[in-house]
Amino acid sequence: MNLPAVACAADHAIQAQPLRVDGARLWQSLMELAQIGATPKGGVCRLALTDLDRQARDRFVQWAGAAGCSVRIDAIGNVFARRAGRRNDLPPVMTGSHLDTQPTGGKFDGNYGVLAGLEVVRCLNDARLTTDAPIEVAVWTNEEGSRFVPVMMGSGVFAGAFSLDHALAQRDTQGCSVAQALRDIGYAGETVPAVPPRAYFEAHIEQGPVLETHRCTIGAVQGALGQRWYDLVVSGSEAHAGPTPMDQRHDALLAASELTLAVNRIAIEHAPHARGTVGYLDVFPNSRNVIPGRVRLSADLRAADDATLLAMDAALRRACAEVATAHAVSVDIQPVVYFAPQPFAPELVATVRAAALALGHTAMDVVSGAGHDAVYLARVAPTAMIFVPCAGGISHNEIEAAEPAHLEAGCNVLLRAMLDCAGVVD
Amino acid sequence: MNLPAVACAADHAIQAQPLRVDGARLWQSLMELAQIGATPKGGVCRLALTDLDRQARDRFVQWAGAAGCSVRIDAIGNVFARRAGRRNDLPPVMTGSHLDTQPTGGKFDGNYGVLAGLEVVRCLNDARLTTDAPIEVAVWTNEEGSRFVPVMMGSGVFAGAFSLDHALAQRDTQGCSVAQALRDIGYAGETVPAVPPRAYFEAHIEQGPVLETHRCTIGAVQGALGQRWYDLVVSGSEAHAGPTPMDQRHDALLAASELTLAVNRIAIEHAPHARGTVGYLDVFPNSRNVIPGRVRLSADLRAADDATLLAMDAALRRACAEVATAHAVSVDIQPVVYFAPQPFAPELVATVRAAALALGHTAMDVVSGAGHDAVYLARVAPTAMIFVPCAGGISHNEIEAAEPAHLEAGCNVLLRAMLDCAGVVD
């Protein structure tokens, strides 16, 4: 990965702090927040900018106010809860995540990052500890993208990935715009320039199985994989499955199956961090005794660096051409999404790793295969993420689960890393 | 193929008959019938036992009556138009097919076989020629199975493949029973024992590309492929496409793609007559960035003999087991349909072949990959089919097309073969 310069370093050495977060309080807040939009199966349905989202935001604002924070809302509805430092002219050390969920989401995705930040503030309050730079906890609007696209909307506007006007103009399937939804829930804030933080950390459940497989508590996230998404259409000829000899077919599903295997093979050939997935596949006419005439499928390629991602792109295009010839069909390939690989700041990743080890936790370097608000923040500020395990690597699912001890450990790492960047007043 | 004993032979030699059908009249009748249920795209939508089916049946009955036939309806609505012979105690030499179509069907599937039979009768009338055995033209109820299952219902009841009561009790998606639909259109006939014909011939468009590819006018059909249909369910684990490493996946679609290729490979390994098709495949949750957790798919295996079909069955089951292990998923396989391979009577197939060649047409031996009423008739009577080409091998489609010259040639072969079996009175 190409790594950005880092603005923040351990200029204020942390003493061997005995400071620890209150894991029980963190868990209690998570469980309380999970009541807002709770589903019968134990998950959470709290789509962005709905009244349930408002309730969760209101609860956070109330908690942050009670913890002595000043709260500011920006024009895309991002919430910033600020705990003053000694030098409030300095950019803050920021943490955060999101409170919106998938339709059948869990209790921890996003919510953990927000409440871990709140717990850091509460912990500093308990210890009557003043940081040099201020601390901020951010709630980013519409990370999930379930109701409005683009995903990671609030952090994307903050980082200048797309414009505020573009985001405000997006509409849900009912025709309601983001601007209207923000007004409806009372979170259309002020248009102010986004000031990049001194450093940004985000604690998150891993949403994958790597930490659990390695029996490791803390993942120091080196960066996020780049993504290239494609729509493929295979066009053959429908024909009756009985009378059509095998050598006179133009079977679109057979060709699509070859492409599905190719996408998998391409990822394996670009190990260790590459991914290749066909998640969507639609067959026409989809009748058991008709040779399929047309198949639409997706391809999702991910890699840690652009050179690898481009090599995978070329391999996929070669596979399309070869499969088209071999199966006497046509294959159309359309790129639909490109996210650049996003390395995190190596010094901050090292800070996370060192904090985990100093606290006595097992830790390993990992990559983020998924997008997070931190990926946009990394465009404008030194950034790192802290992953903790989730059961079975399962997320975006009502059965999403995480161990209280792991959540507490990740929050302690966050505390230590933020103090490291913010500086502790002696 | 195991071949049944044949009851009919050329005991009355045909003189070098100058007799020929009237191709223009046949075409005219086909085009007139195609008006009943005509679709804007040039096809026909005439579902079984609808009022349109009644109109087509009425037209046939009127034409048959005008041609001097006596008409009888049986309890499942099959129509039998009989042209008396010299010895009406003999079982008839029968031909026929069906008048119902697919929802987006063509002008020729089924209709050709019925009207070719009618043209044979008209031609014999024109020539004032009396056969020894009577001639019958049958219209079989609900061959297509689009509105009611089982398919090939009328011929199935006639041949004892399933009971009359079972057939009458079937209902369409609106809840209307076959019994009720027959009463509604006035085609609920008398319950009489089905007398197997002396011989049964069915003229039909090929519905496949073999004749056209070989530039051949007449296919002498050796028999129908046996069929084994399966429902497969691949169960893996849904997971986020980004964070899940390639070696920790349980990707149901990847496994299903391997199975799709296996079904194809199994058919190729059992050439020349084997077929293997996955026509239906359904992915859950079918989201582009979620590794599929479950895939349902069909498998359709066909072969000319049971030994081959059983070997293919075993190969498919081996593939399921191997794919399950290789991709860490489970594969459930459920057989859903079995049709035994049905050889036709070799003497009648030879009669068709000889007639075609005597008439100066190109001819080749073919197999029927699809089901036809003749396949059930072959269980109770010596049977053969006469295939003629259709454009591009396309059928069950509004663009289904056939050349008038080919249809006329097939009808002349039918005439000659029927005369061969019925005997011509000197």
Q: Binning pLDDT at 50, 70 and 90, where does residue B48 land?
A: very high
Helix (H, G, I), strand (E, B) or coil at B178: helix
Å between B298 CA and nearest CA of chain A:
6
Question: DSSP assignment, residue B228?
Answer: E
CA distance B155 to B74: 11
CATH code for B226-339?
3.30.70.360
A 130-169 residues with CB below 8 A of B? none
Residue A249 contacts by C-beta under 8 Å, 6 or more apart in sequence?
A236, A237, A239, A291, A328
Q: Binning pLDDT at 50, 70 and 90, where does residue A17 land?
A: low
Q: Do B242 and A287 touch (CB under 8 A)?
A: no
From B265, which residue of chain A is nearest by alpha-carbon distance? A246
Average pLDDT over residues A222-239: 96
CA distance B354 to B25: 25
User: CB–CB of B388/B402 below 8 Å?
Assistant: yes
pLDDT surpasses 80 at B222: yes
Cα distances (angstroms) measured from residue A268 to each of A80, A365, B239: 41, 20, 17
CA distance A408 to B297: 45
Q: Do B394 and A210 touch (CB under 8 A)?
A: no
Average pLDDT over residues A298-315: 98
Q: Binning pLDDT at 50, 70 and 90, where does residue B47 land?
A: very high
- Residue type at A376? Y
CA distance A29 to A41: 20
pLDDT at residue B17, rounded to an integer: 53
From A229, which residue of chain B is nearest by alpha-carbon distance? B288
Helix (H, G, I), strand (E, B) or coil at B380: coil
pLDDT at residue B18, rounded to an integer: 79
Check if A391 contacts B (Cβ < 8 Å): no
Q: Do B281 and A229 touch (CB under 8 A)?
A: no
- DSSP sequence for A179-216: HHHHHHHT---B--PPPPPSEEEEEEE-SSSHHHHTT-
Average pLDDT over residues B388-409: 95
Q: Binning pLDDT at 50, 70 and 90, where does residue B191 land?
A: confident
pLDDT at residue B87, rounded to an integer: 96
Check if B238 contacts A (Cβ < 8 Å): yes
Residue B95 tokens read as: 């031909």
Q: Do A248 and B298 touch (CB under 8 A)?
A: no
Q: What pLDDT digit, counting tens, does each position of A413-426 carry?
A: 999 999 999 999 86
- Facing B240 at nearest CB: one of A207, A213, A246: A207
pLDDT surpasses 50 at A9: no
pLDDT surpasses 50 at A397: yes
Check if B274 contacts A (Cβ < 8 Å): yes
User: CB–CB of A99/A53 below 8 Å?
Assistant: yes
Residue A109 tokens read as: 């995705």
Nearest Cα residue to A310 out of A274, A281, A336: A274
User: CB–CB of A272/A348 below 8 Å?
Assistant: no
Q: Do A300 and B278 touch (CB under 8 A)?
A: no
Residue B101 tokens read as: 């179509």
Q: Do A251 and B300 touch (CB under 8 A)?
A: no
Residue with tokens 């994958």: A208
Q: What pLDDT digit, counting tens, does each position of A208-223 carry?
A: 999 999 999 999 999 9
Q: What pLDDT digit, counting tens, does each position of B128-163 carry?
A: 999 999 999 999 999 999 999 999 999 999 999 999
Check if A253 contacts B (Cβ < 8 Å): yes
On the question of a common fold for A23-224+341-422 and A226-339, the answer reads no
- Facing A280 at nearest CB: one of B271, B287, B300: B287
Q: Do A393 and B243 touch (CB under 8 A)?
A: yes
More confident residue, B336 or B8: B336
CA distance B62 to A403: 81
Q: Do B298 and A288 touch (CB under 8 A)?
A: yes
User: CB–CB of A356/A220 below 8 Å?
Assistant: yes
Q: Count chain A–chain B contacts defined by CB atoms under 8 A.
A: 206
More confident residue, B426 or A188: A188
Q: Where are the domains of chain B?
A: 23-224+341-422, 226-339
- Residue type at B3? L
Check if A277 contacts B (Cβ < 8 Å): yes
pLDDT at residue B15, rounded to an integer: 46
Average pLDDT over residues A55-63: 98
Q: What pLDDT digit, counting tens, does each position of A79-138 carry?
A: 999 999 999 999 999 999 999 999 989 999 999 999 999 999 999 999 999 999 999 999
Average pLDDT over residues B11-35: 82
pLDDT at residue B192, rounded to an integer: 82
Enumerate the residues of chain A whose CB falls inside 8 A of the CB of residue B207.
Answer: 240, 242-243
% of residues, chain A, pLDDT over 70 = 96
Q: Do B291 and A277 touch (CB under 8 A)?
A: yes
Q: Binning pLDDT at 50, 70 and 90, where does residue B6 land?
A: very low
User: CB–CB of A181/A172 below 8 Å?
Assistant: yes
pLDDT surpasses 50 at A52: yes
Enumerate the residues of chain A whose CB falls inside 8 A of the CB of residue B369.
Answer: 240-244
pLDDT surpasses 80 at B9: no
pLDDT at residue A232, rounded to an integer: 98
The CATH-assigned architecture of domain A23-224+341-422 is 3-Layer(aba) Sandwich (3.40)
